[in-house]
Structure 1
Amino acid sequence: MASPEIHFLGHSTVRVELAGRTVLTDPLLARTVGLLRRVVPLPDPATWAGVDLVLISHLHGDHLHIPSLRTVGPDTRILVPRGAGDWLRGRGFPHVGELSAGETIRDGDLRITAVRAEHSGHRWGPRSTHGPATESLGYLLEGGGVTVYASGDTGLFDGMAVLAERAVDVALLPVWGWGPTLGPGHLDPVSAAEAVARIRPRFAVPVHWGTLALAGMAHLPSPLRGRMRRLLVDPPHSFATEVAARGLGTRVVVTPPGNRVSLSPAAAA
């Protein structure tokens, strides 16, 4: 495999350089998001420079973050789930394209296919009736003989087994979130390992961990402080253990937020 260049910038934000294009997933480049606080340093600005394409998996504020999109640059091309284009263009982003699951576009030599995700697609969550609502997506990136799957937020779904037919080289899979518990439509270390069993990627990179926490939860004295501190560190390692216990051939590459992902065998967990 001709390795793509991948940097895990934190939460669901990953820079992927593949087939001559630079892609950024769900950019979150701020210290705060509502009541959430970033618990690791912001990535170096060089890591979001020169981006050709931004992929938005769904509309929740920690994935479609308007200030971060402005940081990347309002003229950058953005792909969003179908139905969110007008809403985002109305906020000053003129180059917005829309995809539904199963649809494909090309950007130079890079092929991007939208994939279903099992997750709420409403901007403000499932209990709100205001604001846009769309499907949630993952994305397959294919080019130069390499396939990268960025799942976005998702729970398990039967169609994951179909992805095994696409010979995924690298799967970017969420393994936790930002709180002491997970709601529906998320993967934890055990279910993420089941996703690996269905998709059968060569490498799995755990994301959506170790970046955000509710304000004060990891620092102020409370019964949850110890648990929250562990959840900022443990999930990717638990995920690696679960994958190994299943005897899968996938190599798990645990990468701290803000770092380049090394896809050499020696770097795998």
Structure 2
Amino acid sequence: MTAPVLHFLGHSTVRVELAGHTVLTDPLLTPRVGPLRRVVPQPAPETYAGVDLVLVSHLHGDHLHLPSLRLLGPDVRIAVPRGAGASLRSRGFRHVVEVLPGESFPHGALRITATPADHTGHRWGPRSTAGPDTPAVGHLIEGAGQTVYVSGDTDLFDEMHLIGQRGVDVAVLPVWGWGPSLGPGHLDPRSAAEAVERLRPRLVVPVHWGTLAVRGTTLLPGVRSRMRRLLVDPPRDFAAAVAARGLDTHVAVTEPGAPVVAPRPATEPT
């Protein structure tokens, strides 16, 4: 078995190298998305070079981000929730796969399975129900004897323990968002720790934090101190919550733009 190699590019974007393939989750590669500005450096092109599969969890603009997909080129294979394919194909993307929770497809030596997610699928959500709508999904990436679970945006849901029963080596879980509060359908540090208890992965990578903010909120009196804390604290609060539960899971707190460092196996010589 060969462990996956992960690189956290910021927000929900993670590069996963496994079984000879390079997968990118919810690509957000530009300096801005709508009113949100990136508060960490933009990923360098080499960090998303060679991607042969993109997994899009839902239609919100910070997850299905067309300018970022265009940086990857029209020939990259993209998996989207069922109902979103025609829109991407009409924009020139040639290889689009549509999946609902429970559906799988092969990708070379990988097998990708869509999982449930408790999150609105409306394009202009989570608080709006306007625009196109598809189910939000997570993904299981399986290959080389390893399983990576990427939840996408979600709250806790009943089937999460069933995903854990499949045997999860690495879980990628959101622990916050981009504002001073969370809308519906999101994990915070405490509920994300509960997700770890249900999933029981060997390694968990907290994402969806520390990358985006509405322009000016880090400077406004009365807001700036809270916003600056929220750009730093959520993954550390999450790690503390996992530790408080006594779980045998390593939390790899990884700064946006950095490779994920996994602990060495106990049998590996130092």
Instruction: Give the TM-score normalised by structure 2.
Output: 0.96
1:197 matched residue in structure 2: 197
Matched, 1:95 2:102: no
Question: Distance between the aligned counterparts of 1:129 and 1:118, measured in 2?
Answer: 15
Question: Distance between the aligned counterparts of 2:102 and 2:117, measured in 1?
Answer: 11
Question: Distance between the aligned counterparts of 2:112 and 2:63, measured in 1?
Answer: 18
2:268 matched residue in structure 1: none
RMSD: 1.2
- How far residue 121 of structure 1 moved from its aligned partner, in angstroms, is 0.2
Matched, 1:256 2:245: no
- How far residue 2 of structure 1 moved from its aligned partner, in angstroms, is 2.5
- How far residue 126 of structure 1 moved from its aligned partner, in angstroms, is 5.2
Gaps of 5+ in 2: 266-270
| Percent identity of paired positions between Structure 1 and Structure 2 | 68
1:36 matched residue in structure 2: 36
Question: Distance between the aligned counterparts of 2:252 and 2:105, measured in 1?
Answer: 29
Q: Which segment drifts farther, 119-128 or 30-39?
A: 119-128
Question: Distance between the aligned counterparts of 1:194 and 1:79, measured in 2?
Answer: 28
Report if the CA contact (8 A) 1:147-1:168 is conserved: yes
- How far residue 129 of structure 1 moved from its aligned partner, in angstroms, is 5.5
1:183 matched residue in structure 2: 183
Report if the CA contact (8 A) 2:26-2:54 is conserved: yes
Matched, 1:148 2:148: yes
Question: Distance between the aligned counterparts of 1:56 and 1:134, measured in 2?
Answer: 12
Report if the CA contact (8 A) 2:126-2:184 is conserved: no
Within a 5 Å distance, the mapping from 1:84-233 to structure 2 comes to: 84-125=84-125, 128=128, 130-218=130-218, 220-233=219-232
- How far residue 90 of structure 1 moved from its aligned partner, in angstroms, is 1.3
Matched, 1:59 2:59: yes
- How far residue 128 of structure 1 moved from its aligned partner, in angstroms, is 4.6
Secondary structure of the residue aligned to 2:37 is strand
Q: Which segment drifts farther, 83-92 or 192-201?
A: 83-92
Report if the CA contact (8 A) 2:146-2:169 is conserved: yes
Give a deviation string over 1:178-222, Cα, whole Å, max 9, x none.
00000110000000000000000000100000000011101x232
Question: Distance between the aligned counterparts of 2:180 and 2:264, measured in 1?
Answer: 32
Runs of 4+ in 1 over 3 A off after TM superposition: 126-130
Give a deviation string over 1:209-256, Cα, whole Å, max 9, x none.
0000011101x2321110000000000000000000000001100000
- How far residue 265 of structure 1 moved from its aligned partner, in angstroms, is 4.4
What code does the residue aligned with 2:15 have? R
2:5 matched residue in structure 1: 5
**How many pairs does the alignment contain?**
265
- How far residue 127 of structure 1 moved from its aligned partner, in angstroms, is 5.6
- How far residue 131 of structure 1 moved from its aligned partner, in angstroms, is 2.8
- How far residue 3 of structure 1 moved from its aligned partner, in angstroms, is 1.6
1:243 matched residue in structure 2: 242
- How far residue 105 of structure 1 moved from its aligned partner, in angstroms, is 0.4
Distance 1:126 1:189, change over 3 A: closer
Question: Distance between the aligned counterparts of 2:39 and 2:18, measured in 1?
Answer: 29
Question: Distance between the aligned counterparts of 1:141 and 1:16, measured in 2?
Answer: 9
1:50 matched residue in structure 2: 50
What code does the residue aligned with 2:234 have? P
